[in-house]
Structure formats: structure tokens, C-alpha cells
């Protein structure tokens, strides 16, 4: 009886722990991916107000002072 008990109890104890651990790691990886893609909106707007190289080149070609984003 004890041997069969171990064969039944060990898988039912270890498999849920393993699955919960995998779920935890997956959620952490998803949060890490999301945090990498966050853009600070204020910094983006300030950078865009100055204009990038393409915007400045277009402004020079059409003889205006500044490109409005």
C-alpha cells in the first residue's frame, strides 16, 4: 500500500507546482516584454517638436523654419 500511495501522491503534488511555476515565469516574461515597449509620451513629444533629420531636410527644401509635429 505505501508504494502505490507514493506513486499516486508524488505526481499529483509535483505537477501542479511545476505548472504554477511555469505560469509565473510566463507572466513575468510578458510583463518584461511590455515594460520594454513603454514610451514616455512627454519625451516623445519634445523630441518630435525638434524634428528629426528627415523633417529638417523637408523644412529646408520648402523654406520654412520648423516642422510642426
Query: What is the pLDDT, as a whole number, of residue 50?
Result: 67
Query: What is the pLDDT, as a whole number, of residue 25?
Result: 94
Tell me if the pTM is above 0.85. no
The CA–CA distances, whole Å, from 29 to 18, 20, 32, 55 equal: 17, 14, 5, 37
Average pLDDT, the chain: 78
Query: What is the pLDDT, as a whole number, of residue 68?
Result: 59
Query: What is the pLDDT, as a whole number, of residue 53?
Result: 73
Instruction: Give the residue among 39, 34, 29, 55 at the shortest CA–CA distance from 67.
Output: 55
Query: What is the pLDDT, as a whole number, of residue 18?
Result: 93
Distance CA 66, CA 69 (A): 9
Report domain extents, the chain.
Answer: 1-38, 39-69
Query: When comparing pLDDT for 31 and 50, which is higher?
Result: 31
Amino acid at each position: 500500500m505505501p508504494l502505490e500511495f507514493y506513486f499516486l501522491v508524488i505526481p499529483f503534488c509535483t505537477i501542479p507546482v511545476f505548472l504554477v511555476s511555469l505560469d509565473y515565469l510566463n507572466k513575468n516574461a510578458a510583463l518584461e516584454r511590455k515594460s520594454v515597449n513603454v514610451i514616455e509620451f512627454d519625451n516623445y513629444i519634445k523630441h518630435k517638436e525638434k524634428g528629426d533629420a528627415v523633417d529638417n531636410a523637408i523644412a529646408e527644401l520648402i523654406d520654412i523654419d520648423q516642422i510642426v509635429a
